[in-house]
Amino acid sequence: MGLPLGYVFSTTTSPQSTGAPQAGQAREYQIGFTLPLSGELSSIGKIWEKVVYLALDDLNNEVKAYGFNVTFKPVILDDGTQDDKALANVQSFAQMGIKVVIGPAASSQVKAVKSFADANHIVIISPSSTAPTLAIPNDFIFRTVGSDAKQAKALATLAYTQGARTVVVFHRNDEYGNAFADFFTRYFSQFNNTKVYDLPYQAGLSDYTSEVNALASKVQSTGADSVVLIAFDTDAANILAHAAGNSVLSSVRWFLSEGPHGAQELLSPTIGQFAQKTRLLGTRPLFVHNPLYDEFAKKLKEKYGVEPTVFCDTLYDAVQLAGWAILRAGKYDGDAIRAALVEVAKHYYGPSGWTMFDENGDKAFQDYGVWAIVKTDQGYQFMDVGMVQGDSVIFTTTPYR
Amino acid sequence: MITQDLISFFLFSLLYLTVTIPLVLAYRVTKVINFTVANYITYGAYTAVLLDYYMRSSFGHNSLLLTVLSSFAVTGLIAVLSNLAVFKPLAEMRVKGDVLMIASMGLWIVLKYVLYIVSDIASSAWRTNLVSYSQIHYDDISLLTVRAGLVGVQQSLVVFPLLAVASMFILYLVLSETRVGRAVLAVADNSVLASLSGIAVGRVVNLTWFLTAGLTSLAGVMWTTYSGAITPEVGDSLILQVFTIAFIGGLSSLTRTAAGALLISGVENFGTDLLSTYLGLPTSIKPMLTFTVLLATLIVSPPLGVAGGVPYRFTRGARR
């Protein structure tokens, strides 16, 4: 009885299990991942899990090719797209001695973990949090995607150039939605003869029938010609499915943020037809003309049978940055890794392009693409149809005829 | 947007009826305030999801009829197994109703995560995301609507009344026209007398679980034609309204429960829109409206059949 118990205790309490390497052996580093494997972002969260495994395979192969006797292992926890669970996960990682955590996905979750991460010197790299309110210098939060202050401008430009003049901004009432809506309103209002009406909705519901009915009333009473939807994937799918059955909402233009991009639920016949009818367009962070992105997308499809969705490229690059930063730091320490991360990011070019950070730890250079839901022989598909450059939109293809 | 509110009122009334009528009947027989009703809805929806993916991948089309039969069978079986594993042993220990209720809450959480595991395994095996699934279009319903000249009509407007009416009809048929149904009502009225009169109460209880859970699963199938995103949280999102309606019905009167379903659906759809449009209140106050109705009902006309009391129809004379 004593021997097996002793073996169990020795292996579970060895330094190797806390994330730090054991002297004299091949070094193993643990990277924590807090992912939305359930909840509102689960649609893309499940794909992200595949990206994590792909990224770690590539990272481990790359470091071996450089002669490092090192292995990076993931510790993946589901945060259910909830703020408190994300915090609990980061706290669990801290107890395990993990100093680098990738995720969480939502800006409200990043906000929830920030204080703990800063106090405990845990480097947080979010591949998808974009709220401008979290662009704060000298903290332990890094984001491999540009702040939504820029995307809001891109979306405002897209909507205006497409003829929108009176817009209802229908957005999640959370960190992400409120900040995005605020910046969108600021930029859109700068154009001539425009009006913007703000309509937040409570996030986290399983159904948005009442909210969509309220939106229809608002569109009708204000005479709006467009709706701007700032949402995640499952709420967007629910909202668009209900909007498809509403005659008022089916007769205005729709413009979306990046959140719903890639969610398979949006490719149903109901939403696909609605997209054609309303000539639905969206913006998303995109580094155009990047052969590394094409290579990454091909590998993901071949190995796991899935297409990359929004932020898969930034997640992949977050993993690479984390690994190389740990190696460059020379020690498994939060402060050293943070300093190393900034330097590594200056020289790293990946599927999401250049990853250099600005003074706030956010991606310094970000392009925005325009996406649509188009009808093909295989059904409805997401397609990148153009990009936003300055005050104009360049379409590379005509999505709707 | 009165038209849209009317449509939502119509659909949600049918949805709530489909869940609450079997729930109240189940309570009258089993005496369990049962939180796993949320699982019955979700399992109904997810049987539809898994079957839809499998059938489309293998045969290129799906079927509402097959989906309904499968959802009914799967969910009914889960309910019977839940009874045999949890509620029956507790009932034999003669525990109080609140212990059964707490047990049902534990079972609710366990069954939810079992579903997450199952959909995770299916997602990995089939290399697709099943934790969140798109709205389902049933090919046999498409055919039906085309033949009836209803091209372009949303499937939910056909499926909801079809399944709600079917559910109520099956229940009516079983309870009023079959020996088994009469046995169920006898056990619901007085299980001791029913046992003394030769009715196998244990078997009737199992049958009640199977029937009521199976009928509740139809609400999950309905939901797959309505929502743009189907997730394992589907049933949880309806549970507050379901119990409010059941308590309005006193957990005993099927007629009052039906009236409660119409009332709650009306308050949620018309009430929320009116308050949002004319007073600028956020639509997130919807649960507040639901519970205000519940509290008002409890104060003005307290149902005496709740938590094991006598059936409502026997209290009218006593209250006078």
Position A276 scores a pLDDT of: 96
| Mean local confidence (pLDDT), B288-317 | 65
Strands across the sheet containing A141-143: A70-78, A27-35, A100-102, A123-126, A141-143
A105 pLDDT tier (thresholds 50, 70, 90): very high
A193 pLDDT tier (thresholds 50, 70, 90): very high
Asked, for residue B86, whether it belongs to a domain, the answer is yes
Residue of B113, B145, B231 to mutate for A, most A C-beta atoms under 10 A: B231
pLDDT, tens digit, 9 for 90 and up, residues B26-41 = 998 998 889 999 999 9
Q: Is the pLDDT of residue A9 over 50?
A: no
> CB distance B273–A214 less than 8 Å?
yes
> CB distance A205–B237 less than 8 Å?
yes
Q: Is the pLDDT of residue B122 over 80?
A: yes
| Mean local confidence (pLDDT), A214-240 | 94
Chain A residues with beta carbon closer than 8 angstroms to that of B133 = 264-265
Residue of B3, B4, B139, B154 to mutate for A, most A C-beta atoms under 10 A: B4
Q: What chain A residue is nearest to B123 in terms of C-alpha separation?
A: A46
Chain B residues with beta carbon closer than 8 angstroms to that of A380 = none
Quote the minimal CA–CA distance from A206 to chain B in Å: 6
pLDDT above 70 covers a percentage of chain B that reads 94
Q: Do the Cβ atoms of B231 and B131 come closer than 8 Å?
A: yes
Average pLDDT for chain A: 90
Tell me which residue in B4, B12, B135 faces A270 most closely, judged by beta carbons. B135
Q: What chain B residue is nearest to A244 in terms of C-alpha separation?
A: B154
Position A154 scores a pLDDT of: 95
Which of these, A122, A119, A143, lies nearest to A133 by C-alpha position?
A143
CB proximity B63 to A under 8 Å: no
pLDDT, tens digit, 9 for 90 and up, residues A114-137 = 999 999 999 999 999 999 899 999
CB proximity B286 to A under 8 Å: yes
Among A37-46, A310-319, B106-115, the minimum mean pLDDT is found in: A37-46
Position A16 scores a pLDDT of: 38
Q: What is the pTM of this model?
A: 0.83
Position B40 scores a pLDDT of: 97
Q: Is the pLDDT of residue B304 over 90?
A: no
Q: SS3 for A285?
A: strand
CB proximity B62 to A under 8 Å: no
Position B109 scores a pLDDT of: 94
Q: SS3 for A286?
A: coil
Position B160 scores a pLDDT of: 96
Residue of B42, B112, B131 to mutate for A, most A C-beta atoms under 10 A: B131
B206 pLDDT tier (thresholds 50, 70, 90): very high
Position A24 scores a pLDDT of: 54
| Mean local confidence (pLDDT), A377-392 | 90
Supply the range of the domain harboring residue B112: 17-232
Asked, for residue B180, whether it belongs to a domain, the answer is yes
Choose between A177 and B273: higher pLDDT.
Answer: A177
What is the count of structural domains for chain B? 1
Q: Is the pLDDT of residue B316 over 50?
A: no
Tell me, what's the ipTM?
A: 0.82
Q: Is the pLDDT of residue B320 over 60?
A: no
Asked, for residue B288, whether it belongs to a domain, the answer is no
Ordered DSSP codes for chain B: -HHHHHHHHHHHHHHHHHHHHHHHHHHHHH----TTHHHHHHHHHHHHHHHHHHHHHHHS---HHHHHHHHHHHHHHHHHHHIIIIIHHHHHTT--HHHHHHHHHHHHHHHHHHHHHHHHHHHHHHTS--SSEEPP--HHHHHHHHHTT-TT--THHHHHHHHHHHHHHHHHHHHHHSHHHHHHHHHHH-HHHHHHTT--HHHHHHHHHHHHHHHHHHHHHHHHTT-SEE-TTHHHHHHHHHHHHHHHTTTT-HHHHHHHHHHHHHIIIIIHHHHHHHH---GGGHHHHHHHHHHHHHHHS--TTGGG---GGGTHHHH-
pLDDT, tens digit, 9 for 90 and up, residues B53-75 = 999 999 999 999 999 999 999 99
Q: Is the pLDDT of residue A15 over 50?
A: no
* Cβ neighbours, 10 Å, residue A251: 11
A179 pLDDT tier (thresholds 50, 70, 90): very high
Q: Is the pLDDT of residue B25 over 50?
A: yes
pLDDT, tens digit, 9 for 90 and up, residues A270-289 = 999 999 999 999 999 876 66
Position A14 scores a pLDDT of: 37
CB proximity A239 to B under 8 Å: yes
pLDDT, tens digit, 9 for 90 and up, residues B212-267 = 999 999 999 999 999 998 988 889 989 989 999 998 888 888 888 999 999 999 99
Asked, for residue B291, whether it belongs to a domain, the answer is no
Which of these, A159, A161, A136, lies nearest to A147 by C-alpha position?
A136
Tell me which residue in B12, B228, B237 faces A265 most closely, judged by beta carbons. B228
Residue of B2, B233, B286 to mutate for A, most A C-beta atoms under 10 A: B233
Chain A residues with beta carbon closer than 8 angstroms to that of B126 = none
Quote the minimal CA–CA distance from A219 to chain B in Å: 10
pLDDT, tens digit, 9 for 90 and up, residues B144-196 = 888 888 877 889 999 999 999 999 999 999 988 999 899 998 888 888 888 88
Quote the minimal CA–CA distance from A65 to chain B in Å: 30
CB proximity A374 to B under 8 Å: no
Asked, for residue B248, whether it belongs to a domain, the answer is no
| Mean local confidence (pLDDT), A68-85 | 94
pLDDT above 90 covers a percentage of chain A that reads 77
pLDDT, tens digit, 9 for 90 and up, residues B141-155 = 999 888 888 877 889
pLDDT above 70 covers a percentage of chain A that reads 93
Is-cis flag, bond preceding A399, omega within 30?
A: no
| Mean local confidence (pLDDT), A86-95 | 96
